[in-house]
Amino acid sequence: MSDDASQVSGLTAQAAQAAAQSLTDHSRAQLEQVVAAARAVLDGSAGHVADDAVRTALAAALSEADQALAGTVAPARAATLGASVSTAAAQVAQAQQAWQAAQTAAAQAAAQAAVRARAAASPTPTSSVDPCRTTYTGPPFWTSVPTATGDGSNGNLPASSMTALSWTTDSHGTRFYLLTPAAQALEKLNVAFRAAFGHNLDIDLAYRDYATQVAMRAALGTVAAVPGTSPHGYGKAIDVPELPCEYGWSSVQRAWLLAHGPSFGWVQPAWALQNGSGPEYWHYEYTG
């Protein structure tokens, strides 16, 4: 073989090796992304599925993927593991949605029973009413958890685009998720808030999936946004607790949030102000 032919053969082999390595790196990166999104689904679904078997299956699939990622994983093996993890994550997401739907139905039934009970009870004397009690009188709702299979539409955001807040959970122990830039900005705002008041900012609701928007509209009427239009569905809104003495119109904490929130990209929209079209002293949105 001539020197020229040898050089050409060597270059061809190097190119083939580089192409193979590129394919391996790409498939590994894809598997790592699938694993990260599925782990968020697993973490967020704890205690929120009727049968924990689906979470056990997802944990097993993730463990197998982690073991493979600890070394060199061939593209075909990465694809097989990714498909297994994605399927298990989708099953967990479906189980969690079913659980949330059942919880919402139970909450609506309880709320209707409470309304009937209040209607039958004697009015409470005004003098005995606590002025600092919550102003919310509807059924309970909880924050939503993003799924690995979200398509990015309102109320159907993928876990890969969201981040959970570090300092708080709802009463069920569920972490509050927001779009990652919004969560990062709120983390910084909370540091300043804690320095000013000695405690973290209280969160009542954050991300709201489409099913929850439908349930809230059914329970609360026009007080709730039309499903698919809520800023909560884009992971860009929070509600603080509806406690008038802590976060109400004349509270020191609300005044601080209005003054300092915009520096972190968080504001109270005009419609939610006291003279706005839908006053909500508890509602804040991320504008970037």
- Whether 206 and 84 map to the same domain: the answer is no
- Whether 275 and 162 map to the same domain: the answer is yes
Return d(Cα 214, Cα 191) in angstroms, integer.
34
Give domain status of residue 122, yes or no. Answer: no
pLDDT of residue 93: 83
- Would you state the structure tokens that stand for residue 187, as one six-digit string? 């983390």
Question: How many distinct structural domains can be found in the chain?
Answer: 2
Q: What is the pLDDT of residues 140-192, one digit of tens each?
A: 998 999 999 899 999 999 999 999 999 999 988 999 999 999 999 999 999 99
DSSP letter at 235 equals: T
Q: What is the pLDDT of residues 260-272, one digit of tens each?
A: 999 999 999 999 9
Q: What is the pLDDT of residues 51-84, one digit of tens each?
A: 999 999 989 998 998 998 898 888 888 889 889 9
- Identify the domain containing residue 265 by its residue range: 140-286
The pTM of the full predicted model, rounded to 2 decimals, is 0.58
From residue 192, alpha-carbon distances to 6, 29, 121, 185 in Å are 67, 36, 45, 11
> Is the predicted pLDDT of residue 5 greater than 90, yes or no?
no
- Whether 170 and 251 map to the same domain: the answer is yes
- Whether 92 and 200 map to the same domain: the answer is no
- Whether 242 and 167 map to the same domain: the answer is yes
Phi then psi dihedrals of residue 285, to 5 deg: -130, 150
Give domain status of residue 266, yes or no. Answer: yes
- Whether 61 and 149 map to the same domain: the answer is no
Return d(Cα 234, Cα 223) in angstroms, integer.
18
- Whether 258 and 188 map to the same domain: the answer is yes
- Whether 164 and 72 map to the same domain: the answer is no
Give domain status of residue 231, yes or no. Answer: yes
- Whether 75 and 187 map to the same domain: the answer is no
Place of tokens 């694993």: 35
- Whether 90 and 164 map to the same domain: the answer is no
Give domain status of residue 230, yes or no. Answer: yes
pLDDT of residue 116: 67
Asked if residues 177 and 164 have their Cβ atoms less than 8 Å apart, the reply is yes
- Whether 185 and 80 map to the same domain: the answer is no
- Whether 69 and 165 map to the same domain: the answer is no
Looking at per-residue pLDDT, the higher value among 100 and 218 belongs to: 218
Q: How confident is the model at residue 20 (pLDDT cuts 50, 70, 90)?
A: low
Q: 165 in helix, strand or coil?
A: strand
Looking at per-residue pLDDT, the higher value among 22 and 79 belongs to: 79
